[in-house]
A and B are shown apart, each in its own frame.
Chain A
Amino acid sequence: MVRIDFNRLRFLVIDDNAHMRRILRTLLHGFGAREVYEAEDGAAGLEAFTHYIPDIVITDWAMPIFDGLELMQMIRQPGANANPYVAIIMLTGHSEKKRVTAARDAGVTEFLAKPISAKGLYQRIINVVANPRPFIKTKTYFGPDRRRNVNSNYIGPERRKGGKADVIRQTPLLEKARAPV
């Protein structure tokens, strides 16, 4: 069974609703997290992201100044900030298919619809920590691979073009636990 040492992870919670921030903080501390930072809108969230360099961002969608989707598009800019690969969990009351699709296409790592549950949040965190997906960069997209599964029976057209792979670089994983503090 996979377990996570939450006190090794740094969280940033971005939500304009103080009650929801308090609930998230309570759940994360309950899991064992120590480092939980908060921001109350998209602009403050981006500033906190730059300042704290969190491991996992949990953001609301509907927020003032700029919303969670716009925030995510700003973070998912290769070369523009310290960690464009950061795990982003979108926690929102929006649950319509077009919203989920829009979040996916903006580069969300996991989507969690409110009402929140301890189990749902825990599962999303386990997933981003233990099963990270590779990132895809195209002319129009930069974010986690949107193909979560390989379907051997797929018979449609292959939308990703390309021939022989050209490996640019391979660097061994650096475990967070071994990184200098």
Chain B
Amino acid sequence: MVLAFFVRGPIVDRVSDEALRGQTIVGGIALLLGVFSISQVHWRRIASGHADRGYSAILLVCLVAMAGFGTVQGVEAGGVFDWLFERLQAPMMATMFSMLAFFIASAAYRAFRARTITSAILLLTAVIVMLGRIPMGQYVYDGLPAWTNWIMTVPSVAVQRGIIIGAALGAASISLRVLLGIERSYLGRG
């Protein structure tokens, strides 16, 4: 893959294209490992008489139903698989994440304290940005949207860029270690 970046030619391109195609296939099949793993865990709970075995049974029934409908009927719109996704799974996932709003409000009241100058800077900036990004903000103070834009495009960009560069250097060096055989933890023990 590194060679394909620098060298173009029929053989390199063909090998690279086949490797990419192979990666998508192997990566997709790898996702099934997770499905088997969760099935194993909950089957063991039922077999061992765990207190929550009833819930595990429900989980496995839903898993088999969804997988079954998807495999037999297909995954397109209009089928039971799609109905289960659109009407149950997707809304439930959205609901779970929406609960974070409550916890963030609770944390704002109980935990966010301006105990030091640095934390005061953080909270003050957060208040300016939260006010500047809502329609009511400009009624509080006319210049808030402009201040917010400046915060987002100068100091915030500077720090985010520093983090991007630092993280990219880290990712590149880890990848190099993998390619050179120095990093072998992904192979597991032995």
A pairs with B: no
What residues of chain A have their CB less than 8 Å away from a CB belonging to chain B?
A: none
